[in-house]
Structure 1
Amino acid sequence: MKLKTAVSKMPVRLGAHWWMLGLTVALFVLVAVFVDLQPVVDENFFFSTSDPQFQQSKKIEQRFPSQPEVILAVSSRDISSPRYLGRIQKLTQQINTIEAVSAVKSLAEGPKSFKDALASPFWSRLLIAPDRKSSNVIVFLEGKDPEKPIKHLEQIMHELDERDFRIHIAGPPYVVEMIRRSLAHDFGYFSLTAVVLFGLTMAAMFRSGRVFLGMLATCTSAVLLTLLLQSIFGKKIGILTVNLGTIVFVVALSHLVYMTFNWQTLADRMGKKSADLAAAARRMTFPPSFWSMVCASLGFGSLLIVQAKPLRELGFGGVLGTIVALICSYVMYPSFLRWAVPRKSKLVEAEPSRRFWSRRFVLLSIAVILVSAGLGFGLRRVNTDPSLLDYFKPHQELRDGLEYVDRSGGANPLTVVVAAADGSKLNTDAAYQKMWTLQGALENYKPVGTVISLPTLLAEGDRTPFSFFLSYEKIIEVAEQPKYARVAKSFVNEDRTQAVFLLRMIEGRHDKHRLEVVDDLRSIARKHGFKTVLVGGIYYLQGRLAELVASSLVTGLFWLNVLFIVIAWIVARSVRGALAMIVSLSLVPLCMLGGIGWLHVPMDVISAPATNVCIGIAIDSMIHLVFGVRRAQRDGQKGWQAWIAAREEQWRGIVYSDVIIAAGFAIFVLSDFPPTQRFGLVVLAGCVIDILANLFVLPLLGGARLKRK
């Protein structure tokens, strides 16, 4: 009651809507001037520098200095022909002119000749594909920002690419840049288009320019204020928070749709010209909106304890956005309702009769529950560790290039640091032989493509004249000299007790979880007399992130359900009502995640948060319906009659808020970036499940008589 009283006393002055529009314009200017809207994506976007998973990769970089590399796989019918080798030389020379490129290795720069490269255990693995239909140009980059060098590389590729000299590109800097471009494109284009679709749907439903303007100004202000506060707190737009603006827009819009329909409902009771109409709609809508905000904040808050940086960023932004959305909705929007006149469109007026809502829909509800239970068995099939290739659309130049490089030796790097099981040094003849045995075992493991390591480097040293006079320690010392780019420092530490194996993992053979593959590699190392000291690289970080996404889905949903039990009891104020809310809510993740599992849809880190969005929508609808039941009970209606009255009162808000949300997210399906497509599809499916669970299953479980008298 105190919440209602506080809200009802909030002043709404005549003409306040113009001040609110001015506030929206001011926020727009502040965001345009002070907020960087470019998504920040780098090779370490999976984790922050303080995360344990990233620390392992950082230790490897410190002990074994190396630079990010881009791989160009250049295919031809005859890679030994003078014409091909001449064009490789031209390609190498042009790449060397790029400012951010520190070194280039190719058949024209490294080995003495093509025959020398074939004979070399080191160069043959690094530069020549196993089928000898392509060779690699390895480009080493300086700095962490790949945007400019990748653009220059693409220009050179387009100039030199031809029918018998096809250039395919891969490597972590390139993949990161492609993800950044896709996110930036979708952030600017699809977010704006989604807002336009939201607006058109709102205008069609409410037939009021003032209501439409109020909704647009309020939702836009919520998004802008969230972005501004994020920037003040030092948060950048990341791989997951790129969709935060759309999420906040949807959360705010949901509050406004319910308030508007309650405003129209009250107009039938109080009269369209009542001076207290907007304030009454605000009082009626605020309590369920407040508890919906609490539930949504708890859902996002569960991500704050996850070790993965992007999930924590989304958790912080989600909590902030849900609070800001509630404040903007109840501070800004009532002034527009006071300005407007209630008017129903033909679309909204075409409503079902009271007799329709008095039906229990037993068969439909049972069917929804049974289908949800069946889909729930697909939870074990959810793939939270998709292939790197699944981030890009099939049958496009980008994906085709990655697949070609992947088939030619692997496209995803993994770094494994090993030491002798007995702690002995690795610069002896015996250690060299053991490392060669390990090299062969790793190369024979199915998910592994090319392997470059200390023994391959030492084998190259063995090919030099009079090398039999030199010990392996002396060869390492020579390879540490600036003349040879200190290459040995990237493969062995100073006390010669640890060595690096650089693996290119084949994503096309991705039929096991990455961490299981890493465990297999550890076992192979143990079997051959070595222990694995450190593991790093994008491949390993992806595996750790996939594990955290899976655990965050489980633990997040678990704690949300635990907290929702308390909130359901507070809202429903009966055991049966609370149980009905919990069961109905559980149908949403069962259907969504189970369906994803059965359909083998990859659940990547970008599309995974769609589950949080849909659960938030479902909770919002559920709480508004139950508060409608409580209002009907206060008016003297009991049992099933109270649920009939609540459905009749709230069905518009439930259905049309989902329709508006679905219309906005539907545009994401047209994206060329598969994670964005999956995000939109999951939200669309969630909106359908929400309507079925809240308008049919929840009333049956919560209020229907089990037997007719």
Structure 2
Amino acid sequence: MSLTNWITDRPKLNFLLLFFLICTVSYGINNFELDASSETLLLENDPDLKLYRENTEIYGSSDFLVVTFSPNDELLSVSTINNIKKLVNDLKQVKGVESVLSLLDVPLIVSSANQSFSEVADNVSTLNANEIDISLAKRVFSTNPVYKNLLISEDLKTTAFQLTLKRNLEYERLINNRYTLYGSLSNNKDKEINEVNRLIEVEKKLISTKEKELVSSLRNILLNYSNSGELFLGGGAMIASDTIEFISQDLLVFGIAVLIIFIIVLAFIFKSFIWVVIPLATAGLTSLLSIGAVGWFGWKVTVVSANFISILMIIGISLMVHLIVRYQELAVINESSTQKELVSNTLKQMFLPCLYTALTTIVAFASLIISDIKPIIDFGIIMVLGIVITFTFSFVFFGSLLSLLDKNKLSTEMDNSSSKTLLIHNLSKNNPYKIISVALVIFSLSIYGFSKLTVENKFIDYFKSTTEIYKGLSLIDTKLGGTATLDIIIDAPEQLKNIDSFDDFDDEFGSALKEEIDIQGYWFTSDNLAFLETIHDYLENRPEIGKVLSVSSGIKIAEIANNNQRLSDLELALLRKLLPEEIETQLLSSYITNGDNQVRLSARVIESYEGLNRKDLIYSVKKDLENKFDIPQSRFKLTGISVIYNNLLQSLFGSLIGSMAIVFFCIFLMFIFLFRSVYLAIVGMMPNFLAAGAVIGTIGLSGIPLDIMTVTVAAVSIGMGVDNTIHYIHRFKKEFSKNKNYEESTKRTHATIGRALFYTSITIVLGFLVLATSNFSPTIFFGIFTSLSMIMAVIGSLILLPVLLIKLKPIR
């Protein structure tokens, strides 16, 4: 007994099995999770990520949030400062906040010819003092180069508070354990790594929950101060929290919008209630099953895979349209056939082409697995599983349901869309050389556009300008010294790590100070700090870089106290003794370590800088450190968010080329097997080259950089667009076997399967355009460019492909 007969002969049993499957798998919905943490955009095998984590342990937590405050009243006034004190105190009370750095904490130091360095250091005041010296504060913040565009904007109208978050030591321990296991030779290595990964996921879930509560608490506090001025919250935890909200909103909006579009399109196509309900029910139930399966496997949905439900619904609806159209055609041709015969024949005739279209789409999404970026890999895996579920469920559900229905109560009325497809056929038949010429022009432009592809996108542009994420990042970027960090770690020369002690040291400073000088390392000397300051100034003078923090920042403040004179080695030792511990940590210890033999310069890149190219910036800084500053490459390392993000972006090219190569190769092999002809397979590939080339070329020509979602467009569009080619050629071969006439066969193919291609393409295009309503720019571009590729795919199948078949005559 064939599979199709099994479906049509046992419809009630099939429904019982489907019901049991839905109930079982749907239970996994309880485990369905969204994940928008920065961890999802990391390359775990990236050595720069390991270095970044190691330096975080050495120099302190890099996990912080930023609050910007632009008061209605003058910022440097007694009333505003007192208000800031209350706000800072409230922020410190929030669970999860370790400390808050603000303009209240920094020393208010000005140059004075009447006081010695030690006297100025002994009388350091801050805005936290009971009596606030506003005139001194204005002098300091308007002239101090370290504070400007860091804690306070140059126009003295906006200030920023840095909220350092408590470190999750257990998470850090697990990450370090995993790195250790990677290099282990243990026989149980894989098992141990899997267990550590499981514990990491548990810890990440806990972190996500805590961060959500933290962001909510902070926003409630800021809301209480909203009457005082404009406040924005920024930082990784806030972006992750808001992005999850965006994903949740997108899932809801996309689902509703796609549903409405499908109802309208299906009603317009079939003009029958039952033919609207069946596809919608299929799409809804397969989406439910897919969500449950994702939950069962414990896979997390990210910003990349958030639209998988909409895509599966589109695929499911398209499949059902093909089945319904073929059923209607058979019902008109074979009026005497029973319902079961009609349904069985529909399933038999459509099984092979639909199976191959499903397989090509699976191959397209499976190709994403070669990426180094985990969200893209997960997207590919989720879609492969979803397509298998959609294909299997659709055939069983359609065949079982229709077997129970009375064919006389089902509309088999053929619409007049075949006249439209025949018009398209006439256009193709009457203008073959023009069509080929246009195709060649488009393909040539596509190649040129491909050469213009770039990955240099800005994280800030991932979000609409109306979102708090964009507003906060923009303010920090333009007024408070930049956003993404670029850290330069420089070691002392190996042979000069310990300087000579002062044997003739004047004892009047005390033995403790002499001891301090004796243990000073390479970098904490007057001459070497002066050299370090040249590197600091070089970085700060680069147009792509805003603020730079290093040990030189603290020394510059001390030099102001020293009447703008360079500090001697003795005064440097005195500086450490005189500074309060908290200020010493903020200005010195966070930027110099390892016995003063390693320093960190933390630059902040201006994300909104026009023409920003991270790859060129990183290369240029490395080259200048070697050539201008004569520092061997073995002595310095570049790390930070900018380096990690650049590595992610550079990997996108590899993902694009690799996935396209796999998709084209696998689909070509499938074409050969399906069509039993290499020549016909080559002809079938041409419209798909055109569709993929057009969309990639358009991305390049438009200057829109590749991102974590648009990089998947090529593979996805090829996998889905090739469905048109398979259905068209499969039907064409049947028609050609009857009359051996190329022109007549293409005409009949347009009049039959052409209708279904026309319908499904409209459905797919409108479905993907819904994604353009997202708050997340990569999702918007994904929707737009995938819609474009689907338009090009149907044009290629209904206009270019018949020309190629008629002119090249690939069937011998």
Output the TM-score relative to the length of structure 1: 0.89
* Distance in 2 separating the partners of 1:542 and 1:265: 54
Q: Which amino acid aligns with 2:64?
A: E
The residue aligned with 1:132 is 156
* Distance in 1 separating the partners of 2:76 and 2:774: 41
Contact 1:204–1:345 (CA under 8 A) maintained in structure 2: no
Gaps of 5+ in 2: 108-125, 128-136, 169-206, 498-521
Shift of 1:390: 1.2
The residue aligned with 2:463 is 392
Contact 1:480–1:487 (CA under 8 A) maintained in structure 2: no
Shift of 1:506: 0.7
For residues 523-602 of structure 1, what are the structure 2 equivalents within 5 Å? 523-526=623-626, 527-530=628-631, 531=633, 533-602=636-705
Contact 2:328–2:414 (CA under 8 A) maintained in structure 1: no
Shift of 1:11: 5.2
Q: Which amino acid aligns with 2:441?
A: L
SS across alignment from 2:592: coil
* Distance in 1 separating the partners of 2:637 and 2:245: 32
Contact 2:546–2:603 (CA under 8 A) maintained in structure 1: yes
Contact 2:447–2:697 (CA under 8 A) maintained in structure 1: yes
Aligned partner (choices 518, 521, 546) of residue 621 of structure 2: 521
Shift of 1:47: 1.9
> Do the aligned partners of residues 453 and 93 (structure 1) sit closer, same or farther apart at CA in structure 2, a change above 3 Å counting?
same
Which stretch has the larger CA shift, 337-346 or 374-383?
337-346
The residue aligned with 2:32 is 36
Contact 2:418–2:752 (CA under 8 A) maintained in structure 1: no
Shift of 1:355: 7.6
Shift of 1:592: 1.2
> Do the aligned partners of residues 702 and 104 (structure 1) sit closer, same or farther apart at CA in structure 2, a change above 3 Å counting?
same
Shift of 1:441: 0.3
Contact 1:92–1:109 (CA under 8 A) maintained in structure 2: no
Confirm whether residue 306 of structure 1 aligns to residue 407 of structure 2.
Answer: no
The residue aligned with 2:90 is 94
Shift of 1:554: 1.8
Aligned partner (choices 104, 109, 116) of residue 108 of structure 1: 104
Contact 1:670–1:677 (CA under 8 A) maintained in structure 2: yes
Aligned partner (choices 367, 373, 389) of residue 444 of structure 2: 373
- Identity, % of aligned pairs? 18
SS across alignment from 1:222: helix
* Distance in 2 separating the partners of 1:190 and 1:479: 57
Confirm whether residue 267 of structure 1 aligns to residue 338 of structure 2.
Answer: no
The residue aligned with 2:257 is 193
Aligned partner (choices 542, 547, 553) of residue 456 of structure 1: 553
Contact 2:419–2:751 (CA under 8 A) maintained in structure 1: no
Q: Note the alpha carbon deviations across 1:369-393, whole angstroms, 9 max, x for none.
A: 4234324422233343321221122
Shift of 1:46: 0.5
> Do the aligned partners of residues 194 and 410 (structure 1) sit closer, same or farther apart at CA in structure 2, a change above 3 Å counting?
farther
Which stretch has the larger CA shift, 85-94 or 6-15?
6-15
> Do the aligned partners of residues 196 and 236 (structure 1) sit closer, same or farther apart at CA in structure 2, a change above 3 Å counting?
same
* Distance in 1 separating the partners of 2:680 and 2:577: 75
Output the TM-score relative to the length of structure 2: 0.79
SS across alignment from 1:61: helix
Aligned partner (choices 644, 648, 666) of residue 769 of structure 2: 666
Structure possessing the higher radius of gyration over alpha carbons: 2
The residue aligned with 1:500 is 600
The residue aligned with 1:318 is 383
SS across alignment from 2:105: coil
* Distance in 2 separating the partners of 1:126 and 1:50: 33
The residue aligned with 2:299 is 235
The residue aligned with 2:231 is 167
The residue aligned with 1:656 is 759
* Distance in 1 separating the partners of 2:417 and 2:93: 68
* Distance in 2 separating the partners of 1:606 and 1:311: 8
Aligned partner (choices 23, 35, 40) of residue 26 of structure 1: 23
Shift of 1:79: 3.3
Which stretch has the larger CA shift, 602-611 or 689-698?
602-611
Shift of 1:162: 4.8
The residue aligned with 2:359 is 294
* Distance in 1 separating the partners of 2:577 and 2:656: 50
* Distance in 1 separating the partners of 2:264 and 2:239: 36
Q: Note the alpha carbon deviations across 1:109-130, whole angstroms, 9 max, x for none.
A: 3431435556666545641224
Q: Which amino acid aligns with 1:572?
A: F
SS across alignment from 2:465: coil
Q: Which amino acid aligns with 1:628?
A: R
For residues 203-352 of structure 1, what are the structure 2 equivalents within 5 Å? 203-271=267-335, 273-340=338-405, 341=407, 342-344=410-412, 351-352=419-420
Which stretch has the larger CA shift, 646-655 or 226-235?
226-235
Contact 1:386–1:603 (CA under 8 A) maintained in structure 2: yes
> Do the aligned partners of residues 61 and 8 (structure 1) sit closer, same or farther apart at CA in structure 2, a change above 3 Å counting?
farther
Shift of 1:58: 1.9
* Distance in 2 separating the partners of 1:470 and 1:684: 69
Confirm whether residue 417 of structure 1 aligns to residue 485 of structure 2.
Answer: no
SS across alignment from 1:672: coil
* Distance in 1 separating the partners of 2:13 and 2:279: 15
Q: Note the alpha carbon deviations across 1:445-501, whole angstroms, 9 max, x for none.
A: 111011111222344566779986857578679989679668755323434433222
Aligned partner (choices 61, 65, 82) of residue 60 of structure 2: 65
* Distance in 2 separating the partners of 1:23 and 1:213: 21
Contact 1:418–1:534 (CA under 8 A) maintained in structure 2: yes
Shift of 1:505: 1.1
SS across alignment from 1:44: helix
Shift of 1:644: 2.8
Contact 1:384–1:603 (CA under 8 A) maintained in structure 2: yes
* Distance in 2 separating the partners of 1:478 and 1:213: 79
* Distance in 2 separating the partners of 1:645 and 1:390: 48
> Do the aligned partners of residues 354 and 503 (structure 1) sit closer, same or farther apart at CA in structure 2, a change above 3 Å counting?
closer
Aligned partner (choices 540, 546, 563) of residue 443 of structure 1: 540
Shift of 1:444: 0.6
Shift of 1:675: 2.6
* Distance in 1 separating the partners of 2:313 and 2:570: 69
Q: Note the alpha carbon deviations across 1:401-451, whole angstroms, 9 max, x for none.
A: 322221113443224232247344433333312211110000011110111
* Distance in 2 separating the partners of 1:12 and 1:211: 22
Shift of 1:95: 1.6
Question: Across the two proteins, how many residue pairs are aligned to each other?
Answer: 700
Q: Note the alpha carbon deviations across 1:505-544, whole angstroms, 9 max, x for none.
A: 1112141432222212222332324447444433333222
> Do the aligned partners of residues 474 and 225 (structure 1) sit closer, same or farther apart at CA in structure 2, a change above 3 Å counting?
farther
Q: Note the alpha carbon deviations across 1:282-303, whole angstroms, 9 max, x for none.
A: 1111212222222222222222
The residue aligned with 1:426 is 523
SS across alignment from 1:446: coil
Shift of 1:691: 1.4
RMSD over aligned CA atoms reads 3.3
Contact 2:38–2:236 (CA under 8 A) maintained in structure 1: yes
Which stretch has the larger CA shift, 259-268 or 397-406?
397-406
The residue aligned with 1:404 is 475
Contact 2:478–2:606 (CA under 8 A) maintained in structure 1: yes
The residue aligned with 1:623 is 726
> Do the aligned partners of residues 562 and 541 (structure 1) sit closer, same or farther apart at CA in structure 2, a change above 3 Å counting?
same
Which stretch has the larger CA shift, 643-652 or 118-127?
118-127
Contact 2:31–2:295 (CA under 8 A) maintained in structure 1: yes
* Distance in 2 separating the partners of 1:685 and 1:480: 62
Q: Note the alpha carbon deviations across 1:230-265, whole angstroms, 9 max, x for none.
A: 233331111211111222222233322222222222
SS across alignment from 2:300: coil
For residues 173-188 of structure 1, what are the structure 2 equivalents within 5 Å? 173-188=237-252
Q: Which amino acid aligns with 1:619?
A: V
SS across alignment from 2:231: strand
Q: Which amino acid aligns with 1:539?
A: S
Q: Note the alpha carbon deviations across 1:180-238, whole angstroms, 9 max, x for none.
A: 32222112222333234224422432344444333233323332333333233331111
* Distance in 2 separating the partners of 1:225 and 1:240: 20
Contact 1:71–1:170 (CA under 8 A) maintained in structure 2: yes
Gaps of 5+ in 1: none
